[in-house]
Chain A
Amino acid sequence: MITNTLPFIITFLNIGITLILIWYWYNLSKKEEILNKFLEKKEKKAIKVLEDAEKRAIKKIENAELFTKEIKKEAKEVIKKALENLKNLNQKHYEQILKEYKSNQKDVLQKLKNQNLQVISNFANTLNKDTVQIKKDALKSVSEAIKKSQKEIEEYKQRVKEEFKQELFARIDQIVLKVLPKNISPEEHQQIVEDALEEAKSLGFFK
């Protein structure tokens, strides 16, 4: 009975641990989503700040009377480029954060999974060992029971044979003892009796 329930216990534990992992993964995904939104918001805000800065810089350049048209154009290009670089840097920074976060999350999940797998594996090994032992014991018991039964059957067969033999001998005895007197002549009977009386004498029966 124990042998039959063990696989069910292992399966049940596996399902439980899988459910915990799914729940954990689901929570992490939710956190990731929140983080994504947060980062996106921050990124947008940063871009807006940079864009505002760009607009203000360009406006100041246009209003500057000292700059020639070419200088103004060049200055605008430099500012745009610088801001573009900033935007890129900013984006890369956020992407890096996200990447690290995902990597960490993946590591944590993998670690957790490995740990759980190890626990399950250990538990399963222990159960397997127990199951094997239980199976061995059960086989031993069954084997012993079979041997005992075989022995009992052999003894029974022997007893029946013996009883049959006894019965057969008894029948033969009956026949022999019935037939024998009829096949002995009165003279032979007489002689047997006389011999028997001599035997009785030698045994000291008549003293």
Chain B
Amino acid sequence: MVPYFINTKEELENLIQKLEKLQKSQYDLKNNWEQALNEIFTQQEKEYIKTYSKNYKDNTNAVTKLINYLQKARVVNITLAWQPTIKQQLKIAQKIKSLIKEGVINIYYNPDIAGGIVLEYKGKYLDLSLKNKYEAKL
């Protein structure tokens, strides 16, 4: 499952990069596993990785599987008319995640849509922007 603290595609890619870094590092993931995690990841990330790796005997294998899993995570592309604050971004992401069960959002900014949101998910497209609603009413 995509970690609860990963909301955007950017955050997800950042985590994957860190995991790849871990994978390529000189650390002995069997003996120096804790040290390696402390060096690279945040507390939240460490806890998530530890929880995930419990199911695997080999940490190296666990990291590889986790990377593969995260790379396949669903992405909802959203377009907004304004640049939301981190707090707003989080709220929107959590709302969307609650609707899709699992995945992350990828935010685009386009003031031309005037307001509302444009959604792209699983090859589908839905324009719920104010611009679209305004034009439809004319």
Contact = CB atoms under 8 A, between A and B. Distances in A.
Contact of A173 (B100, B117, B135): B135
Given A177-B114, A193-B117, A186 B84 contact: yes
B60 to A, nearest CB: 36
B122 to A, nearest CB: 9
Given A180-B115, A192-B130, A200-B119, A206 B99 contact: yes
B133 to A, nearest CB: 9
A196 B112 contact: no
Interface string B33-54: 0000000000000000000000
Contacts, number: 73
7 smallest beta-carbon distances between A and B, as pairs: A196-B128, A206-B99, A196-B117, A180-B114, A177-B114, A193-B117, A189-B82
Interface string B105-138: 0000001101111010100101010110011001
B126 A169 contact: no
A17 to B, nearest CB: 78
Interface in A170-207: 173, 176-177, 180-181, 184, 186, 188-190, 192-194, 196-197, 199-201, 203, 205-206
Given A177-B130, A189-B81, A193-B116, 8 more contacts: A176-B114, A177-B112, A181-B115, A186-B84, A186-B85, A189-B88, A193-B80, A205-B121
A193 B121 contact: no
A205 B80 CA distance: 18
A203 B126 contact: yes
B114 A181 contact: yes
A33 B79 CA distance: 121
11 contacts: A173-B138, A176-B134, A177-B134, A180-B134, A181-B114, A184-B82, A189-B84, A190-B84, A192-B116, A196-B117, A200-B99
Contact of B81 (A173, A181, A194): A181
Interface of B: 80-82, 84-85, 88, 91-92, 95-96, 99-100, 111-112, 114-117, 119, 121, 124, 126, 128, 130-131, 134-135, 138
Contacts of A203: 126
Nearest to A199: B128
A206 B96 CA distance: 9
Interface of A: 169, 173, 176-177, 180-181, 184, 186, 188-190, 192-194, 196-197, 199-201, 203, 205-206
A193 B138 contact: no
A201 B115 CA distance: 18
Contacts of B85: 186
Contacts of B99: 197, 200-201, 206
Nearest to B80: A193
Contacts of B114: 176-177, 180-181
A206 B119 CA distance: 10
A62 B121 CA distance: 166
A196 B116 contact: yes
Contacts of A205: 119, 121, 124, 126
Given A189-B115, A192-B115, A193-B116, A180 B84 contact: no
